[in-house]
Amino acid sequence: MLSVSFLVLASMSGAFARTPQGFEPAVENSLVVSFGSVAAMDGNVLAKASTQTAPTIGTQSKLDGTSFAVVMVDLDIPTNSPPQTNTLLHWLQTNLTQSTSATAVNTTAGSMDVFTLQTSQQAAFADYIGPSPPARTPLSHRYTQLLIDTSSATTQDLSVLQSAAATRMGFNANTVLTQAGLVDKVIAANFFNVTNPGPVEAATNSSTGSGSGSSRGTGSVTSPTQSSTPLPGAAASQKASELLVAIGLVGAAFFAL
Ligand SMILES: *[C@@H]1O[C@H](CO)[C@@H](O)[C@H](O)[C@H]1NC(C)=O
Ligand SMILES: *[C@@H]1O[C@H](CO)[C@@H](O)[C@H](O)[C@H]1NC(C)=O
Ligand SMILES: *[C@@H]1O[C@H](CO)[C@@H](O)[C@H](O)[C@H]1NC(C)=O
Ligand SMILES: *[C@@H]1O[C@H](CO)[C@@H](O)[C@H](O)[C@H]1NC(C)=O
C-alpha cells in the first residue's frame, strides 16, 4: 500500500518551484509547514485563526545539515500606491536543529512522516507574527517560508541576518540572503495564502491608525486578552508592534500584516 507521504513525495518530485511564481530565490524542495492539523502548502488558503502561532516545520527526508534557519515573508503588503506592494518579515529564527527520527504530522493533506525542525533556546532574530491581511488590495497575501542550511555559516553571516531582521518592512529575502552569503543554502520552501474576506476599504493616511479595527478583517477568532493590541497574537506580536512603533512605522503597522 502506498502511504500518503509517499504520494506527497512523488507528487513533489517534479521540477517546479515551491516558492511563488517570480519569487527569488526559486526553490524546488518542499518544506512541510503544518499548523496543528492544518497543512499549509502549494499556496492554499488558510483561515487566519489557524495561523496565529508558529507552525511545525520539517522535511520528509532527513537533511545533512546540523543547523538551520527559517524565514517567513509576506509578499503582498498593501501600499498607498496600489497595485504596488511591499514585503514584511514575519519570522526569522536561526539555530534550528532537525530531529533524528520522523514523527507523524496530521494535516489536512493526510498524515505525513516528517523530520521536524526544532527551535533552540536561542531567541529569534524576528519573532513569529501571525498573518493578518487587512481589508485592502490585495486581500489575499502570500506567506513564503524558506529553510536555510546555516551549518557552515559564519558568525558574520548570521549577524547580517540579524541586522536585516531588525527592519521587518521591505524585507527582501533574496537581497538579504545574498548579502549573508546564504542564498545558495536555501534548501526547502513553501507558501500559503491568508485572505481578508473584504470588502476593500479606502486607504487612510491617518498616523493614529483609526482603521485598525476594521483592518483586522472580520470573522476571525480573537481572544479578549488580544483585542486591545493593534496586532494579533500574543507576546511576539506585542514585541513586533513595539518594534514598529520604535521605528516610526506605527501607521503602517495597522494595515501591513
Ligand atoms: C545554537 O544552540 C546551541 C544549543 O542548542 C548552542 O550551543 C549554540 O551556541 C547556538 N548557536 C548560536 C550561533 O547561538
Ligand atoms: C492523527 O489522525 C489519526 C486518524 O485520523 C488519529 O487516529 C490520530 O489520533 C491523530 N494523531 C494526532 C497526534 O492527532
Ligand atoms: C494568493 O495571493 C496572491 C496575491 O494576492 C493572489 O494572486 C492569489 O490568487 C492568491 N491565491 C489564492 C489561492 O487565493
Ligand atoms: C495619502 O497621501 C498621499 C500622499 O501624501 C496622497 O497622494 C493620497 O491621496 C492620500 N490618500 C488619502 C486616502 O488621503
170 part of a folded domain: yes
pLDDT band, very low/low/confident/very high, at 127 (cuts 50, 70, 90): very high
Does some domain include residue 218?
no
Residue 95 CB–ligand 1 contact under 6 Å: yes
Q: Ligand 3 centre from 155 Cα, in Å?
A: 37
What pLDDT does residue 257 have? Answer: 63
* Residue 6 vs residue 201, higher pLDDT: 201
In a domain, 245, yes or no: no
> Is pLDDT at 30 greater than 90 in this prediction?
yes
pLDDT at 193 over 90: yes
Within a domain: 67: yes
- 33: domain CATH number is 3.90.280.10
- Please indicate, yes or no, if residue 202 is contained in any of the structural domains: no
What is the tens place of the pLDDT at every residue in 213-234? Answer: 333 333 333 333 333 333 444 3
Give distance in angstroms: CA of 106 to centre of ligand 2: 6
Any atom of ligand 1 within 6 Å of the Cβ of 66 = no
**The residue type at 239:** K
Contact 52, 130 (CB under 8 A): yes
Domain count, the chain: 1
Q: Would you place residue 120 in the very low, low, confident or very high pLDDT band (cuts 50, 70, 90)?
A: confident
- Tell which wins on pLDDT, 207 or 27: 27
**Contacts of the segment 118-125: beta carbons below 8 A, 24+ positions apart:** 119/93, 119/95, 120/95, 120/96, 122/94, 122/95, 124/91, 124/92, 124/93, 124/94, 125/92, 125/93, 125/94, 125/161, 125/162, 125/165
Ligand nearest to the CA of 204: 4
Is 26 inside a domain boundary?
A: yes
Most confident of 3-7, 20-24, 220-224: 20-24
**Going by CA atoms, what residue is nearest to atom 12 of ligand 1?**
95
Confidence of residue 148 (pLDDT cuts 50, 70, 90): very high
- Quote the ligand 3 centre to 44 CA distance (angstroms): 9
236 within a domain of the structure (yes/no): no
pTM of the model: 0.75
Ligand in closest contact with the CA of 68: 1
- For a pLDDT cut of 70, what percent of the chain falls above it? 73
Q: Is 200 inside a domain boundary? A: no
Ligand 2 centroid–CA 57 distance in Å is 18
The stretch 129-136 carries a mean pLDDT of: 97
Residue indicated by cell numbers 503597522:
253
Which residue's CA is minimally distant from atom 2 of ligand 2? 106
Domain of 43? 5-195
